Amino acid sequence: MTISAWFGLALVCVLGAMSPGPSLVVMAKHSLSGGRLHGIAAAWAHALGVGVYAVLSLLGLAVVLKETPTLFNALAYAGALYLAWLGFKSLRSKGGVADRIVSGEQSSIVEAVRDGAMISVLNPKLALFFLALFSQFVALGTDLSSRAIIVVTPFVIDGLWYTLVAFALSSTSILGRLQTHAVTIDRLSGVLLILLAIRVVIPW
């Protein structure tokens, strides 16, 4: 794979990672409620899920997913249920950002890893994203090293992006301002997650 081709791949991966969505909400939740380490743990668990989809796409399983509506719908509905569950938790403020900031309770590393991984693994649209993306780059390098680069690039970019998010949200100056509006953040996060869940089931 040439340098120019890799830059094209990296650019698309950066734009994909930066797109706002449910993943950003989950990363923000754990960065605020648990701190920087929890946000980073969620970030790399999410990146691992991205890496899994990247490998599956290279193996051609994304094509099977696209051609099997029943399987795609099952994964989509599972993801929507998980998003809705996270949303209702935030709305009720039981284990959400507001409660943990007020009480001093932290989310566990296990919870951060679980949510980070599941929010990417239960997102079948990632498979279609990589199917469309990799169709442009796989033909450029059929050797093992080139395919390894194609998989590692989105994994590293996704992990680094959400690590930056964790650092930003867990900094003292930013965190102080956000803590003042913790309840509002909880409510808005809950509404956003539920809307995203509805959008999966009923495309707008």
Q: What is the pLDDT along the chain (204 residues), one digit of tens a residue?
A: 778 778 888 887 887 787 767 788 888 888 877 888 999 999 999 999 999 888 887 777 556 666 777 876 776 787 788 778 878 887 876 545 555 555 555 668 898 999 999 988 887 777 777 766 666 666 555 677 877 888 899 999 999 999 998 888 777 676 666 666 767 777 887 888 788 788 767 765
Q: Where are the beta strands (DSSP E) in 84-200?
A: none
Q: Report yes or no on 16 lying in a domain.
A: no
Q: Report yes or no on 105 lying in a domain.
A: yes
Q: Report yes or no on 191 lying in a domain.
A: yes
Q: Report yes or no on 8 lying in a domain.
A: no
Q: Report yes or no on 41 lying in a domain.
A: yes
DSSP for residue 95: S
Other Cβ atoms less than 10 A from the Cβ of 16: the count is: 18
Domain that holds residue 78: 22-201
CB crowding 121-149: b at 16 or more within 10 Å, else e = bbbbebbbbbbebbeebbeebeeeebbeb
The answer to whether the CB of 90 falls within 8 A of the CB of 190 is: yes
DSSP for residue 200: H
What's the number of domains the chain is made of? 1
Q: Report yes or no on 145 lying in a domain.
A: yes
Q: Report yes or no on 174 lying in a domain.
A: yes
Which amino acid is it at 183? V
Q: Report yes or no on 9 lying in a domain.
A: no
